[in-house]
Structure 1
Amino acid sequence: MTVDPAMANTSEPKPMTLDTGSLPLGERALRLILDHVLAVGDEAETTYLEVKSSLDLGSKTGVAKVAKFLLGAANRRPKEAERHFRGYAVLVIGVQKDTAPGIPRGVEAHELEDRLRPYLGPQFPAFEFGRIGVDDDREVLFIVAQPPQDGQPIFPCHKSFQGEDRRDSLEDGAVYVRGTSNTRQARSGEVQALVERARGGKPPIDLEVEILGSIGRVSRVDEVLERLYQHAEEQFKATPEPVRSTSLLTITLPDFFGSPEPRSAEERAARLVSWRKEKSTNIAEGREHFLGVALPGAGIRVVSRGRFVAKPHLIVTFLDCEALEFREADDADFEKVVEPIVRQPSRYVLGPDLSDYRITPRDYPVSWTNQGHDVEVTITPESFRPNAPWTSDQDDYVLLARDPEATSVTVTWVLTEEGNDEVTRGVLEAHAADLVDAADLFNSTFLEGN
């Protein structure tokens, strides 16, 4: 089969997407791959497809590049590899976007295998050749790597090579894997995954999940907050009206910027009406601050027994619980629990209180949310290492049992792993803390020692 090297001039449309559900073997399959590369060029490169516009397979550099591709293709995880080309991987040589100049004919499989053997080692899996002729002297060459299998060992590089471009270099003993569109040295987690492949596949995940800190139980929270608001209103009504002064010496900074304390009875009455309208919202916000400051933080410890878990996604659900943002004891602020009818801004600090805002890094591995009557905590670290406890911080959130009479809380968890279709689930009972009266909790947090 031959192909016109000036394929860019043909009017026949070329596929922008490639069907990877079939084997990349035979003339029809290779032609589809070629057409796809002609259409998109280097954008065709993926974990299972690499493209070289030209390559001298008689040179040490050319041989090293092929060896690097084959090493990376051999060190793939079987379940990930089988999603495309039924596990095969293909290196296409002699084509680029819109044109297929090819490489000189005459590359013999056994000769290339002899040149590759010092890099690949004696136990390396076989690979296949495919060819599409360009003209009498040139051809597009396809090197097709076999699908990886559970039980196969790791295939390290057996010989060093230093290329002019360091990206082409190979290191004796290094393990290479296929990245998104290139071949690179393996990271620790990828090496561990290949060790598990050599054992015949990944063993089942044996995960231990432990709750750190406590799950709070507090009675009469709404009642106590309502009483605090009633007391604030009674005090406001009992406070005499301030005497209006026209002296410039008594004008405070808030007065100057347009937020004066109400002076007349009418102004005080209007301020009270406005405060009452916002009462429900303020009580809800005050409740969050109160409990976030008063209750200890909670966390999660995870141990994977005898098994490396790559890119885990763990969702821990606390049934019939509520989560609130954890706040340090020093952040306790009475006026954030009971909104003053007349708030006195600081004379020295203008703008929002930065303690109300929590900033976490973009890749922070813990997030939490209230879902209906439950709490979901999502944990996404880089990995769980075998028998090495992974522990979250205990300053992210506090947990509160919705039923103050409950002495324990049911906790469920679901774990998935990158490159693994298996889902691991578990359930446990977490002990709830002793029941505390909200009035006692408020006094110990906001009043004692003040």
Structure 2
Amino acid sequence: MSSIGSGSTRSTLSTDAIPLGERALRGILDHVVAVGDEAETTYLEVKSPIDLSSKASVAKVAKFLLGAANRRPHEAARHFRGYAVMVIGAQRDSAPGVPRGTEAHELEDRLRPYLGPQFPAFEFGRIGVNAENEVLFVIAQPPQEGQTIFPCHKSFQGDDRRDSLEDGAIYVRGTSNTRPARSGEVLTLVERARGGGKPPIELEVGVLGPICRVDRVEEVLGSLRDYEEEQFRKEPELAEDAFASTSIRLASSVFGGTAHLTAEDREEALAKWRNGKTEHVARGREHFMGVGLSGAGIRVVSRDRFVSKPHLIVTFHGCELVDHLDPDDADYEKAVEPVLRSTDPLRPALDYSTLRPLKRDHPVTWSNRGEDAEVVLTPESFRPNVPWMSDQDDYVIVASDPQASSVMVSWVLTEDSNDAVTSGELRVPTGELIDAANLFKTVFLKEE
């Protein structure tokens, strides 16, 4: 990265915005490169390149986070809306960075013995310098009234005593460093902890994507099953017609080599197929709607309040959820169970299209509960006035009543280390009514 400042250059840093996102972090980095250590304040600390795999470097990061967590809320709120930032890999006139590859969860694991189990969540950011190096940002959350004091949980003796940590010590941010708290500062933190608890949560919850309405699903699937049976009953040489010449291999059991079956074999296969109708239709219905309908998600905004480790349950009343599937995975035989499946020696025994691997610590789960659908969100945090949005490729929301013009959505929120329960509800309009026959044509009768 080229030099952005020089010894005679002055830089002005705006601290009105939240220090998250590449644009905000790049502005902080430019300021650090311009003025170096002079950038350090109660809300900003600068570290030239350090080895984050060493105990000494991890202790430095832990000390900064402890000091940032033990700030007074009204004072912290004057800059970066209460956040505090440590910049790692930058100095005056240059930003050499640190080697790429530092994983946030690995650094968190190294920090946890010093911070303790109840320490607030913190964020990581990074800006690439070149193919090998990047500048890292450790971002502490705003302190809150009613928050406990956060002591150090593990000792560390560094070569420089200023980098040492003591088990049980309380650290605070000074003008440009982190140091042990003085008696008056400890008493102030005690008052913070007695501050009547956290302010109430004001949450805005919205739905991304459609709440789908589909009419005649069972009727269409029933007609297709009737057609499947009709084709199966025909002699193989008579079964092929214009419909079967489409991209779908209808009645694959007929064209897959069933001519050798006796009449008794065919009747036995049909009886078994009919007995499985309930299961077949339910499974086919899920596949049909999963590949044919648009996915949905949830948008959450916490007004003027940081919410740590939220647990938000959103209930869609009179709705159901199905897994959202890639349209390219549309498979007619999964929508309409054939009487006899064709045997393809090249086809893998395991159907990989049904596997839905989730990311590590995926913050979204969903299920159907009785007549309602339930989505549970467990992100690390909701930041003040910053929208949090789930992806729209997890599930599809379908109104149980195709004629419903809207559905009721209710939600309940709890927060880590907070006994208060926040709840709300909203009415959400449904999407345009879709006819299942038209949807079937769109999904399965694509022109080749």
Q: Give TM-score scaled by structure 2 length.
A: 0.55
Counterpart of 1:398 in structure 2 is: 396
1:215 pairs with 208, 211, 214, which one? 211
Query: CA, structure 1 residues 365+240, in 2 after alignment: closer, same or farther (shift >3 Å)?
Result: same
* Pairs within 5 Å for 1:50-449: 150=146, 162=158, 169=165, 175=171, 201-240=197-236, 262-449=260-447
Of all paired residues, the percent bearing the same amino acid is: 49
Q: Deviations 1:223-267 (Å, cap 9, x if unpaired)?
A: 11111100110111123379xxxxxxxxxxxxxxxx977532222
Q: For residue 373 of structure 1, report the CA deviation from its aligned partner.
A: 0.3
SS of residue matched to 2:224: helix
Q: For residue 218 of structure 1, report the CA deviation from its aligned partner.
A: 0.8
Note if contact 2:210-2:295 (Cα within 8 Å) is conserved in structure 1. Answer: yes
Q: For residue 346 of structure 1, report the CA deviation from its aligned partner.
A: 2.8
Q: Deviations 1:361-417 (Å, cap 9, x if unpaired)?
A: 352100011010001100000101111111101111100000111011100000000
Q: Distance in 2 between matches of 1:72 and 1:308?
A: 15
Moved more, 290-299 or 195-204: 195-204
Q: Which runs of 5+ in 1 are unaligned?
A: 1-66, 78-147, 177-192, 243-258
Q: Distance in 2 between matches of 1:356 and 1:224?
A: 23
Q: Distance in 2 between matches of 1:230 and 1:195?
A: 74
SS of residue matched to 1:433: coil
Query: CA, structure 1 residues 409+162, in 2 after alignment: closer, same or farther (shift >3 Å)?
Result: same
Query: CA, structure 1 residues 199+346, in 2 after alignment: closer, same or farther (shift >3 Å)?
Result: farther
SS of residue matched to 1:425: strand
Q: For residue 165 of structure 1, report the CA deviation from its aligned partner.
A: 11
Q: For residue 195 of structure 1, report the CA deviation from its aligned partner.
A: 12
Note if contact 1:241-1:263 (Cα within 8 Å) is conserved in structure 2. Answer: no
Query: CA, structure 1 residues 306+291, in 2 after alignment: closer, same or farther (shift >3 Å)?
Result: same
Note if contact 2:321-2:396 (Cα within 8 Å) is conserved in structure 1. Answer: yes
Note if contact 2:208-2:299 (Cα within 8 Å) is conserved in structure 1. Answer: yes
Query: CA, structure 1 residues 204+350, in 2 after alignment: closer, same or farther (shift >3 Å)?
Result: same
Q: Distance in 2 between matches of 1:432 and 1:291?
A: 16
Query: CA, structure 1 residues 229+416, in 2 after alignment: closer, same or farther (shift >3 Å)?
Result: same
Counterpart of 2:6 in structure 1 is: none
Give the residue type in structure 2 aligned to 1:273.
A
Query: CA, structure 1 residues 155+233, in 2 after alignment: closer, same or farther (shift >3 Å)?
Result: closer
Give the residue type in structure 1 aligned to 2:361.
D
Note if contact 1:153-1:195 (Cα within 8 Å) is conserved in structure 2. Answer: no
Q: Distance in 2 between matches of 1:225 and 1:308?
A: 48
Give the residue type in structure 2 aligned to 1:331.
D
Q: Give TM-score scaled by structure 1 length.
A: 0.55
Query: CA, structure 1 residues 213+175, in 2 after alignment: closer, same or farther (shift >3 Å)?
Result: farther
Give the residue type in structure 2 aligned to 1:321.
C
Counterpart of 1:255 in structure 2 is: none
Give the residue type in structure 2 aligned to 1:235.
Q
Note if contact 1:151-1:200 (Cα within 8 Å) is conserved in structure 2. Answer: no
Q: Distance in 2 between matches of 1:235 and 1:194?
A: 79
Query: CA, structure 1 residues 316+239, in 2 after alignment: closer, same or farther (shift >3 Å)?
Result: same
Q: Distance in 1 between matches of 2:439 and 2:191?
A: 53
Give the residue type in structure 1 aligned to 2:417.
G
SS of residue matched to 2:403: coil
Q: Distance in 1 between matches of 2:398 and 2:336?
A: 21
Note if contact 2:319-2:373 (Cα within 8 Å) is conserved in structure 1. Answer: yes
Moved more, 417-426 or 275-284: 275-284
SS of residue matched to 2:218: helix
Q: Which runs of 5+ in 2 are unaligned?
A: 1-62, 74-143, 173-188, 239-256
Query: CA, structure 1 residues 312+274, in 2 after alignment: closer, same or farther (shift >3 Å)?
Result: same
* Pairs within 5 Å for 1:16-55: none
Q: Distance in 2 between matches of 1:72 and 1:335?
A: 58
Q: For residue 348 of structure 1, report the CA deviation from its aligned partner.
A: 1.4
Name the Cα RMSD after superposition: 4.2
Q: Distance in 2 between matches of 1:427 and 1:163?
A: 57
Q: Distance in 1 between matches of 2:335 and 2:148?
A: 62
Q: For residue 215 of structure 1, report the CA deviation from its aligned partner.
A: 0.5
Give 1 or 2 for the bigger CA radius of gyration: 1
